[in-house]
Structure 1
Amino acid sequence: MTREAVASERDEAIQRLRDVGLRVTGPRLEILQILAGGEHLDVESLTAAARERLGTLTSQAVYEMLRHFLDTGLVTKFDRPGWPAVFEIADAPHNHALCISCGRVENVESTTPRKPTTGLPGWHVDGSEVVFKGQCPDCRASIEG
């Protein structure tokens, strides 16, 4: 990655924090830039990646940052049954694929179902989510190979 691209990513992260009224700090910038890489990461993975650049950072500090990021809409959380939740930069609505063997998560562009017109009397439906479950290519290869 070029120096200009790194500077641009940093500037974008700074602007995102300012747009939602959060103070710009080194750890917050680092976590946002790591998430901007497009992976779905759990708290442990985020903490380890940030420690490589910052030196010290506690998991508790990362949890606290993520709570603020969730509250302000900067990131979204995807709960994986049997594995720790993962986080990603809030972006256009999309669905997910979940590997039932290793917990890997990938974004999927697909049509989200429409809000039901019957069957939920008195409900106010805010949205829906589709999760495609199966095995990722790596897990399939290890089973078949």
Structure 2
Amino acid sequence: MATERDAVVQRLRDVGLRVTGPRMEVLQILTSGEHLDVESITELARVRLGTLTSQAVYEMLRHFMETGLVRKFERPGRPAVFELAGEPHQHALCSRCGRVANVVTAVPEPPKKGLRGWLTAETEIVFHGECPDCRKQPTALA
């Protein structure tokens, strides 16, 4: 029976990346399914590895994105977050805390008018609002 570690090793090998302890640790962290920024990933990896720089994590994530292992989600005004690539899905973004959640929903067809000559590669839908935790908190007065 393959372990989660074996699965991470195989993912790296499948895309032609060398298997290293830091790469395995970063991918292992992303298997949690959370959307994490570079600093969070770095802090979590340091617990097991001892030392690791944010720059090294940025480089790993860049390689992971180039090989299709990881996707990046931009949060306006906040650091981007990363997740393992997988089944296509959309996102919900909390406007108060920046939390990101996966959403599975039907994606509309691109409009026939207004995009003449375009070749649409993908559609991204982001639901903006407040997560359940923020909805329980009182709103700050401006």
CA shift for structure 1 position 22: 0.2
| Equivalent position of 2:121 in the other structure | 126
CA shift for structure 1 position 115: 2.3
| Equivalent position of 1:83 in the other structure | 78
The 1-side partners of 2:138 and 2:61 are apart by: 35
Query: With structure 2 as the length reference, what TM-score do the two structures score?
Result: 0.94
User: Which structure 2 residues correspond to residues 28-107 of structure 1 after superposition, within 5 A?
Assistant: 28-107=23-102
Aligned 8 A contact 1:115 1:127 in 2:
no
| Equivalent position of 1:143 in the other structure | 138
Query: With structure 1 as the length reference, what TM-score do the two structures score?
Result: 0.93
* Unaligned ranges ≥5, structure 1: none
* Unaligned ranges ≥5, structure 2: none
| Equivalent position of 2:21 in the other structure | 26
The 2-side partners of 1:11 and 1:88 are apart by: 19
CA shift for structure 1 position 116: 2.2
Aligned positions, number: 139
The 1-side partners of 2:16 and 2:103 are apart by: 30
Please state whether the residue corresponding to 2:3 is helix, strand or coil.
helix
| Alpha-carbon RMSD | 1.2
Please state whether the residue corresponding to 1:84 is helix, strand or coil.
strand
Aligned 8 A contact 1:18 1:24 in 2:
yes
Please state whether the residue corresponding to 1:77 is helix, strand or coil.
strand
Please state whether the residue corresponding to 1:143 is helix, strand or coil.
coil
Code of the aligned partner of 1:86: V
Please state whether the residue corresponding to 2:102 is helix, strand or coil.
strand
Please state whether the residue corresponding to 1:87 is helix, strand or coil.
strand
More helix, by proportion: 1
Please state whether the residue corresponding to 1:32 is helix, strand or coil.
helix
